[in-house]
């Protein structure tokens, strides 16, 4: 493989320090709050984990009780990743040790070939751990997890299979969320020098770009393929309002995913695609003033629909990175700042409440009545990632971004 295929795109711009404005989030204050909430959450976990055998927090149930999940749940890697972000911010060994403990709890997932969510689980946990500690065992876990994930790739389709469930609806479903799991494959190529992971990630990104997006650069949630021919059979939603609607978190996954693909490859096709997705999101007539979107841009009862904070934080984190590549960078940074300011002032749980979750008002799956207007652990994870990225930009640092194994010229 040519060297440029696994030598990732370097940051080359100096970041501007923005003046204090009415929408300037106090990052230090936000992290102090996050640390206190994490301490509350850890106590809640200890009380339940003794008898449940579950390892990671996901949300609050209808009665307000903490809901924990097993390692196989797609969200199991976010709490370990959150702990790594706290350690990255303050450098205190107490957070490193906690992160190590919760990371180890999900190691078995490196063998789980029955899921496409390997990146969410292993990359957010072991990826961050390896980036911050260079623990060689973490590197080995990343490589094994990537090897497991690529078993789900179908060369006829040119994509990695998403779900194994709902076989009555789709023979070979691919969801927009799957873009987020490609970062694990890019990392595996950088670690090993083996192009197989990179090549599969690029093929998946290209297939998704070809078939998931409409003319206005909104995306479908699920594309169903014929696994034998690669023909598109269905274009649907699973968590959005309708097949033709724009599910907010799905749009966020696309923005973040193609920004990451540009960083990993230097292919400007991905950069332009990320910009077009972003412009669709920011200029949508149903986007609220504070840029915290409704759970679906086409939900029928807007403005009386739930907001989705989890979509907002993924958008904000993606925008901070995209701002360093795009000619529209200043606009994108200001939009991200606006989101983070809104979240830190209007959508944050009071200290000691919500069982230790940081943010309120996310939506998991409105059509299924599941996790509607509740805290979600992945919202908290991407919130801390966005805060770290914002902090780096404000401090004018040319620095490896948080959120993964490879950032800029750090290398592995």
Is residue 11 scored above 80 in pLDDT?
no
Number of helical H runs and strand E runs in the chain: 13, 9
pLDDT digits (tens, 9 = 90+) for 356-383: 999 999 999 999 999 999 999 999 999 9
pLDDT value for 23 = 65
> What does the alpha-carbon distance between residue 32 and residue 48 come to, in Å, rounded to a whole number?
25
- What CATH number has the domain bearing residue 362? 1.50.10.10
Considering the domain boundaries, does residue 80 fall inside one?
yes
Name the binding residues.
Answer: 117, 177, 237, 249, 253, 365
pLDDT value for 107 = 98
Considering the domain boundaries, does residue 409 fall inside one?
no
Residues identified as active-site:
117, 177
pLDDT value for 51 = 67
Is residue 4 scored above 70 in pLDDT?
no
pLDDT value for 7 = 38
Is residue 156 scored above 60 in pLDDT?
yes
pLDDT level of residue 24 (50, 70, 90 thresholds): confident
Considering the domain boundaries, does residue 402 fall inside one?
no
Closest CA to 393 of 325, 335, 324, 340: 324
> What does the alpha-carbon distance between residue 318 and residue 352 come to, in Å, rounded to a whole number?
29
pLDDT digits (tens, 9 = 90+) for 119-153: 999 999 999 999 999 999 999 999 999 999 999 99
Considering the domain boundaries, does residue 273 fall inside one?
yes
Q: How many CB atoms lie within 10 A of CB 179?
A: 26
**Domain range for residue 308?**
3-394
Is residue 54 scored above 90 in pLDDT?
yes
13: tokens are 């711009």
Name the binding residues for substrate.
Answer: 117, 177, 237, 249, 253, 365
Residue where the block lists tokens 């401090």: 395
> What is the arithmetic mean of pLDDT over 89-114?
97
CB-facing half-sphere around the CA of 93: CA atoms within 13 A? 0
Considering the domain boundaries, does residue 407 fall inside one?
no
Is residue 397 scored above 90 in pLDDT?
no
Closest CA to 219 of 256, 192, 190: 256
Which residues fall within 8 angstroms of residue 236, CB to CB, at 6 or more apart? 169, 170, 220, 221, 222, 223, 224, 243
Percentage above 70 pLDDT, the chain = 90
pLDDT value for 22 = 44
Percentage above 90 pLDDT, the chain = 86
> What is the arithmetic mean of pLDDT over 301-322?
98
pLDDT digits (tens, 9 = 90+) for 158-211: 999 999 988 888 999 999 999 999 999 999 999 999 999 999 999 999 999 999
> What does the alpha-carbon distance between residue 372 and residue 38 come to, in Å, rounded to a whole number?
22
pLDDT level of residue 103 (50, 70, 90 thresholds): very high
- 363, containing H or E segment: strand 362-365
Least confident interval from 4-8, 143-147, 316-320, 334-338:
4-8
Helix (H, G, I), strand (E, B) or coil at 295: coil
> What is the arithmetic mean of pLDDT over 271-276?
98
pLDDT value for 399 = 45
Least confident interval from 72-81, 93-102, 161-170, 386-395:
161-170
CB 207 within 8 A of CB 174: yes
pLDDT level of residue 67 (50, 70, 90 thresholds): very high
CB 342 within 8 A of CB 330: no
pLDDT level of residue 1 (50, 70, 90 thresholds): very low
> What does the alpha-carbon distance between residue 355 and residue 65 come to, in Å, rounded to a whole number?
8
Instruction: For residue 59, list its beta bridge partners.
Output: 67, 376
181: tokens are 């799991």
Q: In the chain, how many domains are there?
A: 1
Average pLDDT along the chain:
91
CA 254 and chain centroid, separation: 10
pLDDT digits (tens, 9 = 90+) for 213-242: 999 999 999 999 999 999 999 999 999 999
Considering the domain boundaries, does residue 317 fall inside one?
yes
pLDDT value for 47 = 86
Considering the domain boundaries, does residue 268 fall inside one?
yes
């Amino acid at each position: 493989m040519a060297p440029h295929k696994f030598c990732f795109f370097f940051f080359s711009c100096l970041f501007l320090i923005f003046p204090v404005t009415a929408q300037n989030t106090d990052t230090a204050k936000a992290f102090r709050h996050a640390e206190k909430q994490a301490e509350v959450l850890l106590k809640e976990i200890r009380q339940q984990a003794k008898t449940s055998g579950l390892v990671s927090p996901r949300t609050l149930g209808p009665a307000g009780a903490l809901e924990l999940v097993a390692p196989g749940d797609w969200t199991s890697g976010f709490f370990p990743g959150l702990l790594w972000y706290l350690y990255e911010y303050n450098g205190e060994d107490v957070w490193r040790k906690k992160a190590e403990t919760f990371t180890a709890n999900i190691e078995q997932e490196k063998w789980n070939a029955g899921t496409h969510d390997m990146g969410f689980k292993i990359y957010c946990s072991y990826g961050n751990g390896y980036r911050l500690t260079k623990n060689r065992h973490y590197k080995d876990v990343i490589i094994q997890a990537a090897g497991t994930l690529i078993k789900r790739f179908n060369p006829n389709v040119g994509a990695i299979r998403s779900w194994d469930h709902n076989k009555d609806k789709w023979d070979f479903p691919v969801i927009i969320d799957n873009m987020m799991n490609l970062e694990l494959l890019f990392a595996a190529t950088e670690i090993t020098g083996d192009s197989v992971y990179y090549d599969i990630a690029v093929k998946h990104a290209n297939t998704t770009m070809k078939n998931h997006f409409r003319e206005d650069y909104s995306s479908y949630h699920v594309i169903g393929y014929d696994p034998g021919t690669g023909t598109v059979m269905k274009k649907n939603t699973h968590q959005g309002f309708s097949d033709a609607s724009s599910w907010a978190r799905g749009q966020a996954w696309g923005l973040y995913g193609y920004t990451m693909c540009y960083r990993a490859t230097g292919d400007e096709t991905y950069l332009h695609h990320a910009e077009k997705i972003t412009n669709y999101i920011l200029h949508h007539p149903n986007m609220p003033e504070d840029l915290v979107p409704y759970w679906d841009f086409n939900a029928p009862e807007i403005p009386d629909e739930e907001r989705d904070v989890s979509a907002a934080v993924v958008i904000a984190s993606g925008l901070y990175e995209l701002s360093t590549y795009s000619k529209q960078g200043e606009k994108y940074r200001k939009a991200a700042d606006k989101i983070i300011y809104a979240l830190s002032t209007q959508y944050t749980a009071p200290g000691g409440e919500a069982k230790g979750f940081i943010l309120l008002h996310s939506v998991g799956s409105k059509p299924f009545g599941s996790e509607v207007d509740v805290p979600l652990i992945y919202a908290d994870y991407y919130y801390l990632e966005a805060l770290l990225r914002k902090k780096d930009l404000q401090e004018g640092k040319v620095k490896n971004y948080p959120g993964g194994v490879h950032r800029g010229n750090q290398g592995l």
